[in-house]
Each structure stands twice: as C-alpha cells, then as structure tokens.
Amino acid sequence: MSTPSEAQPRERAPIPERLTLTLFVSGASPASSRAVRRLRDLCDRHCASGYDLEIVDIYQQPAMVVSRGVLAVPTLFKELPLPVRVLIGDFTDEPRVLAALGLSHPKGD
Amino acid sequence: MTPGGSSRDQEIMLLENRLAVAEETLRALRAGEVDAIVMNTGQGEQRIYTLETDERPYRHLVERMSEGAALADTDGLIVYANQRLATLLGLPLERLLGRPFSDWLDESERSRFIRRLATAASGGHGEHTLRRSDGGSMPVLVGVSVTHEHDGLLRCLTVTDLSPQKAQQQEMDRLNEELTDRLAELRKLNGELDVERIRVEQAMAELQTVNEAIRGFTAAAAHDLRSPLVSIIGFSALLTKSWDTFSEEKRRTFVATINSQSQNLSTLVDDLLTSSRIEGGGLSTSPELIVLAGAIDRCLELGNRDIGSVTVSCSPDLIVRVDPHHLGRILDNYVQNAFKYGEPPVRIQATRVGDMVEVRVLDHGPGVPPDFVPRLFGKFARADTPATKAQKGTGLGLSIVRGLAEANGGLAHYEPNVPKGSCFVVELPAGERPGA
C-alpha cells in the first residue's frame, strides 16, 4: 500500500491507540458496582477498537491506592492514550464520561 | 522553547490537572457517587473511610454464612458475633458480647486457644471442642486472623461446625474397619478352605490306596483260601471215587495232605479273624509270665524249622508277661518272614532293656526297600520285590504282629540289619520269675 517515499501520508493516519483503563473500587459496594457495570457497558458500546480494563479493589491492593494517590472510590484512570485523565464517581453522566475518555465522535470528524 | 518556559508550562499543567482532580472529587462527593474516601495518616499508611452503604452487603454475607463469625478485641473479648455463632452455642446473641470466646471451649483446650489468639499474627486455625449451653459438645474448626484497626488489633474468628464431617469420618472409619475385618475373615476362611481341601485330597488319596489294597487283599485272600480248598476237594473226591484202587500207603499220604491243607486254611482264617479283631478293638489278651527261651524253642519246633540254621541268643532268665498265643504268633511270623523273604543265617537275640524285653530276628537277605519301611506294618502291606512276588501272603502278618504286640503293652518295629538283611524287633513287657 505504501512505498518508502510516502512517509507523510502514514503520519496523517495514525493507528488508533487501544484504550487502557484502571478502575479503583471498594469491594461490591453500591457505587463501585454501578461504576463497573456502567463503564463496561459504555466501553462495549463506544470503544470499537477494544479496551483493557483493570479493576483494583482498594482493600485487596492497598499499595496501589497509595502509589496512585486515590482519594475517593470509585476512581477511574484513563492511562492510554495520553494524557492521563482521572474520573471519580459512578459514571452517571455518560456524555461527560465519553468526552473524558475521548470516545465522543461527532459525525464528520 | 526555553527550559525556563517549559518548566513554567509544566507547572501550570500539573496544577491544572490537580485542580481538575479536586473538582472532579468534589463533584462526585456532592453527587453521592462515592463509596469510600481514602485518608493519609501521614505515616505512610492510609485509612479507608467507607460510607454507610458500603458495609451492607458484607454484613449480609457475614450474617447469612453457615460459619460462626466473631470479632474480639485486644483483650480477647467478643465485640461482634454473627447470629450463626449464637446458634452454634445455643445462646442469645447478646450473651456473647463482652465475654472471651475461650469461655465456650473445653477447659483442657482453653490455654492452647488463648496462646493461638495471642500469637496469631498471620492467622491460623485449629480444631477445638465447643461447649454448648445445653451441656452438649461440638467439634469445631476455629480460624483466627488479625486485622489492624485504628483503635488497635481486632481478632477475627470463624467457627465451623465439624460434626457432619466427623460423623462422616467416623462412619468411613467404621466401614473401613468392617471391610478390613471382613477381608481378614475371608483370608482366614480361604486359608482354612485350603487346609480342608488338602486334607480331603489326602484322605481321598489314602482311601484310594486302601481301596486298592482291599481289592488286592480280597484277591490274595481268595487265592490263598482257594489253593488249600482245591487240594482238599481234589484229594477227598479222588479218595471217595477210587478208594479201592489206591494202596493203603497212598491213601494215608492223601489224607495227610488233606489234613495239612486244612491246617493252612485254618491258619489263614485265624489270621483274618485276628486282623479283624485287632481292627475292631475286640482282641482280648490273657497275659502270663513266660520264659522267653522256652517259647522260642517251641516256635522253632512247631515251625518244623531246621533248628541248626537258626542261632538263638537268649538268657534262660528272661521272662515276658504276654498272652502265650500272641507271643507264639509274633515269633512265628518273624521267623517265617526271615525264611520266606530273607536268607539264612537267621539269628534270634533277646535282651532286657529297662522294663522291656527286646527280641530281634535278623536275617541276611536283601532287606526291606527303604521307601516301603513306613508302610511295612500296615495292613495288606506287600512290598514290590522279587522275594515277595515269589511268596504267597495276605499282607496281614506284620500288621497282626504289631496289633498283638501293642495289645500286650509292647511295640513292634523294623531296622535294617548291618551289613545286609532285615532286623525285626518286638519289645514286650518284662516279667519277674515267680518267687524270684
């Protein structure tokens, strides 16, 4: 498809980076459960290129809570693509979450 | 881009990020979207404050689980217990609070449990016996773990009822034991069966041998009975038919033959009767004191033996206490055998051995084949040798000798003679000369 002389067009069509997420929850408590459910649903619907979601229980992995400076639970880190974004809550406001994750694609973009 | 400008830009970006996170946190808190807040104690440890709703599912889980659960404070006193633990102990829940769990353990186990509780830094478990309020006991597994709370250590106890497992284990042990017993029993029975089978096989083999011997004996006896009878019938018929044609001398010879054959017949019938009596236990003995040397002489005379071909070594003082007819029969049989199956010179020697007198009859024939010796004194015993084949006999002689010797309190046995020949021995009870 491309030849060595066609370096420019390649840069203009970057391979979409896979969404990598880390979600901190506190066991099966209500907001945490809601957060896990909603986030999966949202990603399944909007993230066509796939995603990796790691769920960390703050009771089971306290060291990670310290290293990531988690303040309140549930907390979501969008690790990739950069920049890192932090979202807190149970993802009730879907458009806001989609925007934060870079998943809102207005038509014609 | 200068390094200084870059640094400021970065600082601004960092602050903007922190502001965004702070705003996001505040927003989520206000919206009630948060379960728990993580606080830093400032000593590198964080403490998690959970909101009321966060605990509910765990509460539910702990209350509904099939194990008893309790939290004990640093002094080991129960500060929380689930309903299940109260049920296991048979007590109302409130009676558990403020008391040490060890109160409900078997007295002998309390110190062990308290030690475990004190040292259980990383958890552990052990089997104990729970004392129920109704006086009953229950085997339990008590798990202990420690959780560090802000106001000190809390011990978490889980109590699992082991009764069903124990009952199952006991049942299995019982079944196992039963199986082992059955197996041992079966093995024993099997062994017994084997022994019995071998015994039956041996008995069958013996029966077969006896059966064959009886068949042989019947044939031999019939033959032996027939020979004298044929003689008697033949000569008596001849005399009846042609009395006049024979000379006086001839007639005398014939009658003498009839007489001697009748004697043979009589002896044979006596043998059969004696043997039958010995076997049936109906033999009666009339012991007398007999001078042995005299009895030997009489035996040799009656047997028409050439006394010169037999050497006798017997002190005239030797007295035996036996039935005289039986003694005659024994000696006669031994001497006859020595001439029939052995070879001269024949020697008779008698000696006193303790309370017994031992009489030995020795010959210089081929002797008895070693493999036949064990059966020599049995009934119908006839060794398969040229000497025996050449002689007629019912095979009763030696069995009668032994039977008579034993009936008189003696013994009869065989030894090989040295260097060749046979040595038949009879031991008889010694007697003292009357008036001696």
Please give the Cα distance from B241 to B413 (Å, whole number).
51
- List residues of A whose CB lies inside 8 A of any B CB: 25-32, 35, 58-59, 62, 65-66, 70-74, 86-90, 92
Nearest residue in chain A measured CA to CA from B32: A89
Domain-located, residue A25:
yes
Q: Stretch B280-295: mean pLDDT, rounded?
A: 86
The whole domain housing A61 covers 17-101
Q: Which two tokens stand for residue B301?
A: 């005379």
Domain-located, residue A9:
no
Q: Stretch B231-252: mean pLDDT, rounded?
A: 91
H helices then E strands: how many in chain B?
10, 14
- Residue ranges of domains in chain B: 3-49, 65-161, 167-278, 285-431
- In this predicted structure, the answer to whether residue A12 has a pLDDT above a threshold of 70 is no
- In this predicted structure, the answer to whether residue B26 has a pLDDT above a threshold of 80 is yes
Helix axes B324-340, B292-302, angle to 10 degrees: 50
Whole-prediction pTM value? 0.40
Q: Stretch B394-419: mean pLDDT, rounded?
A: 86
- In this predicted structure, the answer to whether residue B387 has a pLDDT above a threshold of 80 is no
Q: Which of A26, A62, A88 sits opposite B54 (nearest CB)?
A: A26
Q: Which CATH superfamily is domain B285-431 in?
A: Histidine kinase-like ATPase, C-terminal domain (3.30.565.10)
Judge residue B295's burial from the number of C-beta atoms within 10 Å of its C-beta, 0-12 exposed, 13-18 middle, 19 or more buried.
buried
The CATH number for A41's domain is 3.40.30.10
CATH architecture under which domain B167-278 falls: Orthogonal Bundle (1.10)
Predicted local confidence at residue B1, as pLDDT: 44
Nearest residue in chain B measured CA to CA from A84: B17
- In this predicted structure, the answer to whether residue B267 has a pLDDT above a threshold of 90 is no
Confidence class for position B195, pLDDT limits 50, 70, 90: very high
Query: ipTM strictly over 0.85?
Result: no
Contacts across the A-B interface (CB distance below 8 Å): 81
CA B315, chain centre distance (Å): 55
Confidence class for position B391, pLDDT limits 50, 70, 90: low
Please give the Cα distance from B261 to B343 (Å, whole number).
26
- In this predicted structure, the answer to whether residue B332 has a pLDDT above a threshold of 90 is no
Predicted local confidence at residue B304, as pLDDT: 63
Please give the Cα distance from A30 to B54 (Å, whole number).
7
Domain-located, residue A7:
no
Domain-located, residue A2:
no
Domain-located, residue A44:
yes
Cβ neighbours of residue A47 under 8 Å, at least 6 residues apart? A19, A101, A103
Predicted local confidence at residue A107, as pLDDT: 42
Provide, as residue numbers in chain B, all residues whose Cβ is less than 8 Å from the Cβ of A28: 57
- List residues of B whose CB lies inside 8 A of any A CB: 17, 20-21, 24-25, 27-29, 31-38, 44, 46, 48, 50-51, 53-55, 57-58
Whether A74 and B35 lie within 8 Å, measured CB to CB: yes
Please give the Cα distance from B373 to B307 (Å, whole number).
29
Confidence class for position B380, pLDDT limits 50, 70, 90: low
Whether B54 and A62 lie within 8 Å, measured CB to CB: no
Please give the Cα distance from B383 to B335 (Å, whole number).
18
Q: Which CATH superfamily is domain B65-161 in?
A: PAS domain (3.30.450.20)
Q: Stretch B207-233: mean pLDDT, rounded?
A: 82
Query: Would you say how long chain B is, in residues?
Result: 436
Interface test with A, best of B12, B25, B30, B38 (most A CBs within 10 A): B38
Domain-located, residue A107:
no
Provide, as residue numbers in chain A, all residues whose Cβ is less than 8 Å from the Cβ of B21: 71, 86, 88
Q: Is-contact B422 B338, C-beta < 8 A? A: yes
Highest mean pLDDT among A26-35, B96-105, B173-182, B330-339: B173-182
Predicted local confidence at residue B187, as pLDDT: 94
Quote the number of domains for chain A.
1
Radius of gyration in angstroms for the set of CA atoms belonging to chain A, rounded to a whole number: 17
Confidence class for position A100, pLDDT limits 50, 70, 90: confident
